[in-house]
Structure 1
Amino acid sequence: MRRLIQTATAAAAAAGLALGPVTVANAAPVSPDQWWFGSWAIQKDVWPQTKGGGVTVAVVDTGVNASLPDMKPAVLPGVNLQDGSGDGRQDLDKNEGHGTAMASLIASRGTSSGFYGIAPEAKILPIYAPNVSPTTVSKAIRYGVDHGAKVINFSEGASGSGQYNCPDDVIQALKYADTKNVVVVASAGNEGDFANSPDYPGSCPGVLAVGALTRQGQPWEHTQRQDYVTVSAPGADVGGIGKSGHVYTTGAGTSQASALTSGAAALIRSKYPQMKARRVVQLLTNTAKDFGKPGKDDELGYGVISIPRALKNDVPQNAPNPVYARLDKAVVKGSTGGGGNQGAPATKNDSSDSGGSNGPLIIGGIVVVVVLVGAGLFIVMRRRKSSGAGGGPYASGPFPNGPQPMGQPGTPPSFGGHTGGQPLPPQGGGQQFQGPPQGQPNPNLAPPQSGPNMAPPAPQGPPNPNLAPPPE
């Protein structure tokens, strides 16, 4: 899920709308490379209602470069959970800056680069998390809750060995977030077409797990295929601002999908300040637009979130809310691990990226070494590497479920208009960001040069007449 970002070509529009660059007052125009703006009708339908003001989103990641002009007004002092030094306002990613990019998708002001977050008046609380051990994740959740966050985003995760693994202390932290009225969002995973193991913390009860969709309306080929995936959001051909200030305009991963969903939650919470976290998740889930095969599936969950539909707040109060139904059923079993009905016991290792519980257990004087299958939940801590565990965006793989047919080739899907809106049926029970090219960051969204961990530039084709800018 810490996957990112390079270059895509054409513009985006909601189905039936020709959409050119839209100018925001006192700012640069929104780039057409940000195709999800058109699909969600952000400028037309969303921003007139809400821009995220008054809401803080905690970004648990590599930190955020708060010195960038587009991010400086948004970023609050946060925390470094590794050693307590610093306040999260530096991006410590060894590459180009995963945390900065995720924060930019949520709340970039766009005034310098022209790259906007979907909630450009929200605040970002940066939480530097060096790993996803149970202690780190639970501390990150509690810190975000205790420091004013109304939404917490995890664009990272680790693979587990059994469905719905979740450590006890993380479940306790999620229950704490619930009592304090905080939404927790996480990426679903980037290895759906190979290992496809449950990815934690996305697989935990009480977490809104997000899969990734392409601009053609198809599930991204590497998005996780697991029953815990509840909704989806744009995750392919989705860019962001690197820690150097360079703007990337393509990339792929459930990291981006999670960040955009956290931004959507911020927009809802801004319009409805008194709304409970459970209601926010209920709205996003029950108003999702179904893509792929009909009904819930393991790639896109109940569908792609529709911000305009969710903002109507017209879902019945008794509509299903599977994320919190799972949390309500979760039972914490203390030091033995395990999350109630969450599957195989999770490990209790708090200290390292690789985790794994291999300790000796002395019973009647006999030492039995217990090794969880595949080294348990935390043998591989993933911050979304560019291949293998990270779900490299350039590998190919079979995709079992056909997408919803699109009206025009190359036309982005529309996630806006109200279609259906029936309540859901009851639900049964890594990082990589290539550095910018040499020289000054490009303020005009120019494509970066190719690099070893970057996708090749998208092929150029003839212009689509249905995407022409509107007349003056």
Structure 2
Amino acid sequence: MRWLLRTAAAVAAIGLAAAPLAPAHATPGPRADQWWFDSWGIQQDVWPITKGKGVTVAVIDTGVNAQLPDMRPVVIPGIDLTGNGGDGRQDTDAYKHGHGTGMASLIASQGTKTGFVGIAPEAKILPIVASLSGTTTGKAVRYAVDHGAKVINISEASESADIYPNQCPPQLLEAIEYAAAKDVVIVASAGNSGDFNNKPAYPASCPGVVAVGALGQNGKPWKSTQRQPYVTVGAPGADVGWINKDGHAYNAGEGTSQASALTSGAVALIRSRYPQMPARQVVQRLTATAKDFGPPGKDDLLGYGVISIPRALKQNVPSSAPNPVYERLDKVAGAKKAGAGTTKTAAEKDDSGGFPILIVVGVVVVLIVVGGVVFLVMRGRKKPAAPSGPMPGPMGPPQPFGAPQSGPQQSPYQSGPQQRPPAGPPAGGPQNPPPGR
């Protein structure tokens, strides 16, 4: 599901006259309504260390309007995987909000026209237009990995995760494993129906993904953020503005989409500061340095806590610290290997003593031949009786072990029985948010 951004009634475009004057090539300060800058100490504690230089963030969404002055310097050519052609530098959002542009603006907007600034303004944005489905999103993830992204943001969610093994479409899970092997961090929005139906939503529910819940300026979880065990961390998502595809800056909005985008920006800042740090360690550091808001300890709203960018940049985390995102992914990968190994071992050995099966078969054949010769010799001493009926014909082809399957064959892409999706629109298409959202 693409979550629509709920905006406040008082929304205005901020023109050039409203943007603060800044020296050439300098990043302007944030607008007064970008409260997360003060909460994270971005200007004081983060930007003196890093602004995201050298890191490409892939935004899998509706595309990004690269013609906007705020976005033009940072958006590089991407791809449109919906079949419409193009390189992702146009926003195809059918709802006319510009969801992809909005997420990219939270990460790397330059603030040159609107004054709205991203938290990692020196990072690059790789736009990928893709509908949400296991197949297409998996292709988008692989494209991002193969085209230099070190962070992938997916501010989308489909509430059909429960029909899949591991709450993740198999094709997408394979792409996530590919990204992990290639040292790329994936971040996704946890979902926006926590106070409605609270269904598990992929890709946030997938192993190997940093799932982000939302909170407001008051430090409390946003009322609609998903309550699910897969939530990893929290980030600002309520009262968070953005820039739409027409270049208008909004002063308010709410959703885990924004929380995911800001977390992707935070990961870009860490990866810029520590370019040799593996993705696993980056996520471990982000999780271990999070601040515990909400219920004490790990909870289903904000996970292990709200990310703290200054702490993640400055505090060392022991290698023995928990790393739940990759621990879950490794567990799934280990289960796959164990299942494959068991079949091979059983086929290689004989149950009765470890003799190679070919030797056992050879012994049996010899015994049958010897027995047959003895039988014929003994029989030859008597006069054979005339046959009383037709001789039996040759045996038919060997039968397969077990009863033949009469129903649908199991999909080679699923680890369990094939399941039918629920009635209604396909999972890859846009889904309707809860009423009033």
Normalised by the size of structure 1, how large is the TM-score?
0.70
Q: Which moves more between the two structures, 79-88 or 367-376?
A: 367-376
- 2:28 and 2:117 in contact (8 A); partners too: no
Q: Which amino acid aligns with 2:311?
A: R
What does residue 91 of structure 2 align with? 91
- CA deviation profile, 1:285-306 (whole Å, cap 9, x unmatched): 0010001110000000011000
- CA deviation profile, 1:97-151 (whole Å, cap 9, x unmatched): 000000000000111110000000000000001x211111110110000000000
Residue 194 of structure 1 deviates from its aligned partner by: 1.7
Residue 333 of structure 1 deviates from its aligned partner by: 9.1
Residue 160 of structure 1 deviates from its aligned partner by: 2.2
Matching of residue 69 in structure 1 with residue 69 in structure 2: yes
What does residue 279 of structure 1 align with? 281
Measure the CA separation in 2 of the matches of 1:376 and 1:52.
44
| Structure 1 stretches of at least 4 aligned residues deviating more than 4 Å after TM superposition | 21-28, 366-374, 376-386
Q: Which amino acid aligns with 1:211?
A: G
Matching of residue 262 in structure 1 with residue 264 in structure 2: yes
Task: Decide which of 355, 362, 387 is 2:434's aligned counterpart.
Answer: 387
- 2:3 and 2:192 in contact (8 A); partners too: no
What does residue 300 of structure 2 align with? 298
Residue 373 of structure 1 deviates from its aligned partner by: 7.6
What does residue 109 of structure 2 align with? 108
Matched position secondary structure for 1:330: helix
Measure the CA separation in 1 of the matches of 2:424 and 2:333.
18
Map 1:20-99 onto structure 2 (within 5 A). Answer: 25=23, 26=26, 28-83=28-83, 85-94=85-94, 95-99=96-100
- 2:194 and 2:224 in contact (8 A); partners too: yes
Measure the CA separation in 1 of the matches of 2:36 and 2:21.
16
Pair 1:367–1:134, CA change in 2 (3 A): closer
- 1:287 and 1:309 in contact (8 A); partners too: yes
Q: Which amino acid aligns with 1:190?
A: N
Structure 1 segments unaligned to the other structure (5+ residues)? 10-20, 335-361, 394-472
What does residue 7 of structure 2 align with? 6
Pair 1:229–1:377, CA change in 2 (3 A): farther
Matched position secondary structure for 1:258: helix
Pair 1:66–1:208, CA change in 2 (3 A): same
- 2:133 and 2:427 in contact (8 A); partners too: no
Pair 1:227–1:379, CA change in 2 (3 A): farther
What does residue 205 of structure 1 align with? 207
Pair 1:332–1:138, CA change in 2 (3 A): farther
Measure the CA separation in 1 of the matches of 2:310 and 2:104.
22
What does residue 368 of structure 2 align with? none
**CA-based RMSD:** 2.7
Task: Decide which of 172, 188, 196 is 2:190's aligned counterpart.
Answer: 188
Matched position secondary structure for 1:158: coil
Instruction: Answer 1 or 2: which has greater helix percent.
Output: 2
- CA deviation profile, 1:383-429 (whole Å, cap 9, x unmatched): 574534xxx44xxxxxxxxxxxxxxxxxxxxxxxxxxxxxxxxxxxx
Q: Which moves more between the two structures, 185-194 or 27-36?
A: 27-36
Matched position secondary structure for 1:99: helix
- 1:161 and 1:377 in contact (8 A); partners too: no
What does residue 124 of structure 1 align with? 125
Structure 2 segments unaligned to the other structure (5+ residues)? 11-18, 337-402, 411-416
Measure the CA separation in 2 of the matches of 1:206 and 1:76.
26
Pair 1:385–1:260, CA change in 2 (3 A): farther
Matching of residue 134 in structure 1 with residue 181 in structure 2: no
- 1:231 and 1:304 in contact (8 A); partners too: yes
- CA deviation profile, 1:184-217 (whole Å, cap 9, x unmatched): 0000011111211111010001000000001111
Measure the CA separation in 1 of the matches of 2:409 and 2:146.
41
Matched position secondary structure for 2:57: strand
Normalised by the size of structure 2, how large is the TM-score?
0.75
Q: Which amino acid aligns with 2:283?
A: V
Between the two structures, name the one with larger relative contact order (CA 8 Å, sep ≥ 6): 1
Pair 1:306–1:377, CA change in 2 (3 A): farther
Matched position secondary structure for 2:268: helix
What does residue 143 of structure 1 align with? 143
- 2:155 and 2:188 in contact (8 A); partners too: yes
Map 1:411-422 onto structure 2 (within 5 A). Answer: none
- CA deviation profile, 1:309-367 (whole Å, cap 9, x unmatched): 00014111111000000110114999xxxxxxxxxxxxxxxxxxxxxxxxxxx974457
Larger radius of gyration: 2
- 1:158 and 1:377 in contact (8 A); partners too: no
- 1:5 and 1:248 in contact (8 A); partners too: no
Task: Decide which of 245, 248, 262 is 2:247's aligned counterpart.
Answer: 245
